[in-house]
């Protein structure tokens, strides 16, 4: 079992819809969780961080964390074609200082 | 805030050349920086963890004598690809984390696209 798992996609949604991206992790003591967006040919950029159970909203993005289920998700409301990218889930374990990345989910938003 | 500068952005050179890539944290201090490699349409692969003032920690399968890492200060890490060959052609990306602790995210540089002819 991979430490951080994501469906590779592609996840295709129509413009204006809600895109839901999911991530599960195996280390129960993980404490910090991040979502990065990576456009093709570019480096990842941080879009959300979440540390406690529940929802965290930032503009059109909402991160959701459920530590009991070891599950973190990212919702993108009113999806735009410019949101088309690969979204990486990253998890920090309680010990050490290295993030563990999932393989990423490719999102395609169709006009 | 939290800007990481990586230079150069693109390198094209002949086989056998050594290439140095710099990674700087511009507005924060980073005890630890990370070097990744990404081949087309593939996931990020961590190559090594660069520690200020000490030796880098390399991931399994990464040759430490080929990929030399130096982390001379809290704001600068360098990766040197020695005697590069065409199979070393890839997208190299560095990242850094603020000293603030393990809850801090990693911030990425813009990457270096290396092409070995």
Taking only the tens place, the pLDDT of each residue in B50-71 is 988 888 999 999 999 999 999 9
CB-based contacts of B2: which residues, under 8 Å, 6+ apart? B27, B28, B98, B105, B107
A46 and B111 within 8 Å at the Cβ level: the answer is no
Contact by Cβ (8 Å): A63, A50: yes
Tens of pLDDT along B24-55? 999 888 888 999 999 988 889 999 999 888 88
pLDDT at B97: 85
- Assign B102 a pLDDT band (cuts: 50, 70, 90): low
Coil vs helix vs strand at B88: helix
Q: Measured between CB atoms, does B32 come within 8 Å of chain A?
A: yes
The arrangement of strands across the sheet holding B76-81 comes to B4-7, B19-25, B76-81, B67-73
Contact by Cβ (8 Å): A76, A21: yes
**E-assigned strand segments in chain B:** 4-7, 10-13, 19-25, 32-38, 45-51, 57-58, 67-73, 76-81, 90-97, 106-108, 112-116
Dihedral pair phi/psi, residue A89, rounded to 5°: -95, 135
Tens of pLDDT along B3-13? 999 999 999 99
CB-based contacts of B50: which residues, under 8 Å, 6+ apart? B32, B33, B34, B35, B56, B69, B70, B71, B77, B79
- CA pair distance B109, B34, nearest whole angstrom: 10
Q: Measured between CB atoms, does B82 come within 8 Å of chain A?
A: no
pLDDT at B98: 78
B46 and A98 within 8 Å at the Cβ level: the answer is yes
pLDDT at A48: 95
- CA pair distance A76, A17, nearest whole angstrom: 8
B107 and A51 within 8 Å at the Cβ level: the answer is no
**Residue A17 DSSP label:** S
Coil vs helix vs strand at A82: helix
Residue closest to A21 by CA, chosen among A109, A108, A107: A107
pLDDT at A95: 54
- The tens-digit pLDDT sequence of chain A (111 residues) is 678 999 999 999 999 999 999 999 998 888 899 999 999 999 999 999 999 999 999 999 999 999 999 999 999 999 999 999 999 999 987 655 678 899 999 999 999
What's the farthest any 2 CA atoms get from each other in chain A? 44
């Amino acid at each position: 079992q991979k430490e951080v798992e994501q469906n590779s996609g592609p996840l295709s949604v129509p413009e204006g819809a809600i895109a839901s991206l999911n991530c599960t992790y195996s280390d129960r003591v993980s404490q910090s969780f991040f979502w990065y967006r990576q456009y093709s040919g570019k480096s990842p950029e941080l879009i959300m961080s979440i540390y406690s159970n529940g929802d965290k909203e930032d503009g059109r993005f909402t991160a959701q964390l459920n530590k009991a289920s070891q599950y973190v998700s990212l919702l993108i409301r009113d999806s735009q074609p410019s949101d088309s990218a690969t979204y990486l889930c990253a998890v920090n374990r309680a010990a050490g200082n290295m993030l563990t990345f999932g393989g990423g989910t490719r999102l395609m938003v169709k006009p | 805030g939290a800007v990481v500068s990586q230079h150069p952005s693109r390198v094209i050179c002949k086989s056998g050349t050594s290439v140095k890539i710099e990674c700087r944290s511009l507005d924060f201090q980073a005890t630890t920086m990370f070097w990744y490699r990404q081949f087309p349409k593939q996931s990020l692969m961590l190559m090594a963890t660069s520690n200020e003032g000490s030796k880098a920690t390399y991931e399994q399968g990464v040759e430490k004598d080929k990929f030399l890492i130096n982390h001379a200060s809290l704001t600068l890490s360098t990766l040197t690809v020695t005697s590069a060959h065409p199979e070393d052609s890839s997208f190299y990306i560095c990242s850094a984390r603020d000293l603030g602790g393990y809850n801090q995210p990693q911030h990425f540089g813009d990457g270096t696209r290396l092409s070995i002819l």
